[in-house]
Amino acid sequence: MSSSLFSSIALGDIALANRIVMAPMTRDRAGPGDVPTALMVEYYAQRASAGLIVTEGVQPSLVGKGYWRTPGIHSDEQIAGWRAVAEAVHARGGRIVMQLMHCGRVVVEANRGFAADVIGPSPIACPTPVPGPDGTPTDCAMPRALTSDEIPALVEEFAQAGRNAMAAGLDGVELHCASGYLINQFLNPASNHRDDAYGGSVEHRIHFPMMVLTALAEAIGPGRVGFRISPGNPYNGMDPTDPAATFAPFVKAADSLGLAYLHVVDMGLAELDTLDLLRANFSGPIIANNNLKAESAAALLAAGRAEAVSFGRAFIANPDLVERIAAGAPLAKPNYALLNTDEAEGYTDYPSLTG
Ligand SMILES: Cc1cc2nc3c(=O)[nH]c(=O)nc-3n(C[C@H](O)[C@H](O)[C@H](O)COP(=O)(O)O)c2cc1C
């Protein structure tokens, strides 16, 4: 059964022992300087039996930070912090890629702890509030529109972040192109009103995202670069209509790079079979996500609709999710009130089946 949850697979240059992936989850536990902490090392190590861990969203630069206590990958201290995470996961036989998440316009300035620009494709604020330092929903800042002259340096920031992730010993990176963050802001007409080479037609809207993917592939090798999309997701002010018009050409263009994988948050759209659309336009491995259970995940693999599956919330309270699924054991429920504290409680204190 080559397609079972427990069979091995290669995603580009990354060899997975099983097809159960831990989805990226922001948990707000970074220390001063947005450096990964020993607590984060423990958290990821506990979950190393996943075939692949995708880290929480990590900012490639100061300007990429929008949320409270999120980690970065642009300083020596951050690289050292991530090295400890990667070593702990590898010591337990796991694999780990870093999600590169540039928030773009989704920024509450009080979350940063430093002064920096807020940028976006156009001067249009994110219409929905996001949590501030105390968790209270807070209006996002008005972004400054990037000039076209600034784009090459921004692309290089992503490439450098990719190199930094590799220097820290991670197995690769996943570019966050989903959920209304910077890459998605360029893709979507609600946040991109540009009339230059980066906005307007779909060819122009995918231009910057493709520049970043291309630069990452050149920087660390295409077999170590994945990307994540969420077609039809209205989160953070995205226009959810007609996602196929943008995502078919985007995914098709990305396919020419020979990337490690495409990770999709399948919104279960009534009007579009997202997995079919992606299969028709992307020849590499697909990781499917969203609301999956062991049975539905196994069915997707058995039907050949995806090569791997990812679970987010199920990994919060079940560090040994892979072993629990294998044993048919019940899953523990997370305490959502403790998601975004800076404590071990509700983070590293969920026991595995064996204690
Ligand atoms: C606490 C939490 C934090 C999340 N943070 C991120 C993130 O940093 N990047 C991202 O792409 N998705 C993020 N997500 C979305 C998850 O990766 C996943 O798509 C979602 O939870 C649906 O999968 P599930 O039904 O298996 O939980 C987050 C989800 C949760 C619950």
- Residue 3's pLDDT band, with cuts at 50, 70 and 90, is low
pLDDT, average across residues 161-178: 98
- Residue 2's pLDDT band, with cuts at 50, 70 and 90, is very low
CA separation for the pair 233, 244 (Å, rounded)? 12
How far apart are the two ends of the chain, measured CA to CA in Å?
31
Mean pLDDT, the chain, whole residue set: 97
Residue-level pLDDT at 321: 98
CA 309 to chain centre: 14
User: Does the reported pTM lie above 0.75?
Assistant: yes
Does the pLDDT of residue 261 top 50, yes or no? yes
What is the percent of the chain where pLDDT is above 90?
99
Site to probe by mutation for ligand 1, drawn from 21, 25, 315 as the one with most ligand atoms within 8 Å of Cβ, is 25
Check pocket membership of 178 for ligand 1, CB cut-off 6 A: yes
- How confident is the model over 51-102, as pLDDT tens digits? 999 999 999 999 999 999 999 999 999 999 999 999 999 999 999 999 999 9
pLDDT, average across residues 168-178: 98
Site to probe by mutation for ligand 1, drawn from 313, 335, 336 as the one with most ligand atoms within 8 Å of Cβ, is 313
CA separation for the pair 126, 132 (Å, rounded)? 14
Residue-level pLDDT at 240: 98
Does the pLDDT of residue 1 top 50, yes or no? no
Does the pLDDT of residue 202 top 60, yes or no? yes
Q: Which residues, at least 6 apart from 176, have a Cβ–Cβ distance to it below 8 Å?
A: 24, 57, 99, 100, 101, 102, 183, 227, 228
Check pocket membership of 29 for ligand 1, CB cut-off 6 A: no
